[in-house]
């Protein structure tokens, strides 16, 4: 575990890019002190009204550049509202973000998501990994990276966390439609545990008629799907941990994957795994104190991204060049 304290970052400039703060002279000679005082910064490349309407975006992208100058790493962000899910629709925006990342360049992903499709989470990891090659890939978690978001985080070389940061269990959730027509998510393990409970209650005797309505609606394929979903989540965690963060430590990778998928331990899919608990599990975590200047730069960037989301069902994909709200 690494812990950075205040003073580890000498200066972070929050605001528009420093590119807008340069001065120019017509003859190519360095400006005198008098000329520098009187010179105006060059106008932004956008038209005045468009720049004014999109000013918050340019401020955030300026913050991204400022952070990049300090960390010497490219920074991209995926910030999702609470009503969203990681899906295949996230792939084109990620390709857009990575278009500005040079091959073999270290990459940081600022990630906030309630989770989603494990297969699409793996696609996002593979996209980032193919771009960085042998360089380091880190995930910055300013707030929450839950479920499939946790899988993305543990597939990094390191997870950067602070006081508000949390990961979560990786037990897969199965979406079903209840008898009343309501869509609802349930842990895959709960279906298996429920079936086991029915079997244990029945024993060698006759099946209680109380179970008939439940079993009548039970699709045998659902049981198989639940078992495979659990294996899929553990396999994802173990393979990426073993390949990157834990470097061929098969036993430790398997132990952490099993722990994160343990429904009996966490009880709730929303259970909090903060930075200290993540470190205790054996994950490679860089913990930044709340008053650390770099953490404050990450946090200011994150909250500005959160407040710009127009609805809980929208997501922001942003880098120093690309910016998409979907």
Residues 254-273 pLDDT 10s: 999 999 999 889 988 899 99
Percent over 70 (pLDDT), the chain: 77
**More confident of the two residues 172 and 325:** 325
210 lies in a domain? no
193 lies in a domain? no
CATH number of the CATH domain containing 85: 3.90.226
The span from the CA of 200 to the CA of 190, in Å, is 15
Least confident range from 11-25, 47-61, 158-172, 284-298: namely 11-25
The span from the CA of 196 to the CA of 177, in Å, is 22
Residue 195, φ and ψ in degrees, nearest 5: -65, -40
Query: Burial level of 9, CB count in 10 A (0-12/13-18/19+)?
Result: middle
Predicted local distance difference test score (pLDDT) of residue 184: 64
Domain of residue 297 covers 2-22+43-168+272-325
Mean residue pLDDT across the chain: 85
240 lies in a domain? no
182 lies in a domain? no
304 lies in a domain? yes
Confidence band of 7 (pLDDT split at 50, 70, 90):
very low
The span from the CA of 279 to the CA of 45, in Å, is 45
89 lies in a domain? yes
The span from the CA of 17 to the CA of 19, in Å, is 5
242 lies in a domain? no
For residue 17, is pLDDT > 50? no
86 lies in a domain? yes
Predicted local distance difference test score (pLDDT) of residue 10: 38
Q: 170 with 260: CB under 8 angstroms? A: yes
Taking the chain, what is the end-to-end CA distance rounded to the nearest angstrom? 36
The span from the CA of 36 to the CA of 70, in Å, is 26
The span from the CA of 168 to the CA of 149, in Å, is 8
For residue 15, is pLDDT > 50? no
Tally of domains within the chain: 1
User: What angle (nearest 5°) sits at the alpha carbon of residue 51, between those of residues 50 and 57?
Assistant: 110
């Amino acid at each position: 575990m690494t812990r950075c304290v205040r003073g580890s970052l000498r200066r972070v400039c929050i605001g528009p890019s420093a590119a807008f703060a340069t001065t120019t002279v017509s003859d190519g000679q360095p400006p005198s002190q008098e000329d520098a005082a009187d010179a105006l910064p060059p106008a932004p490349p956008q038209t005045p009204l468009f720049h004014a309407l999109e000013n918050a975006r340019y401020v955030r992208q300026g913050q991204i550049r400022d952070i990049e100058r300090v960390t010497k790493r490219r920074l991209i962000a995926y910030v999702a509202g609470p009503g969203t899910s990681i899906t295949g629709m996230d792939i084109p925006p990620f390709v857009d973000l990575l278009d500005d990342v040079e091959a073999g360049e270290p990459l940081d992903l600022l990630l906030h998501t309630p989770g989603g499709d494990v297969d699409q989470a793996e696609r996002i990891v593979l996209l980032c990994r193919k771009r960085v090659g042998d360089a380091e890939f880190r995930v910055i978690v300013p707030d929450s990276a839950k479920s499939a978001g946790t899988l993305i985080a543990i597939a990094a070389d390191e997870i950067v966390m602070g006081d508000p940061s949390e990961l979560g269990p990786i037990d897969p959730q199965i979406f079903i439609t209840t008898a009343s027509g309501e869509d609802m998510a349930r842990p895959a393990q709960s279906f298996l545990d429920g079936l086991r409970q029915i079997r244990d209650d029945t024993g060698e005797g006759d099946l209680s008629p109380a179970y008939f309505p439940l079993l009548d609606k039970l699709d045998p394929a659902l049981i198989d799907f639940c078992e495979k979903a659990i294996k899929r989540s553990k396999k994802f965690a173990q393979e990426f941990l073993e390949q990157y963060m834990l470097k061929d430590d098969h036993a430790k990778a398997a132990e952490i994957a099993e722990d994160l998928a343990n429904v009996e331990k966490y009880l709730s899919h929303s259970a909090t795994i903060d930075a200290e608990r993540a470190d205790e599990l054996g994950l490679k975590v860089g913990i930044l104190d709340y008053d650390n200047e770099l953490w404050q730069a990450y946090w200011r960037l994150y909250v500005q991204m959160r407040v710009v989301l127009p609805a809980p069902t929208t997501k922001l994909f942003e880098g120093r060049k690309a910016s998409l709200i979907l």
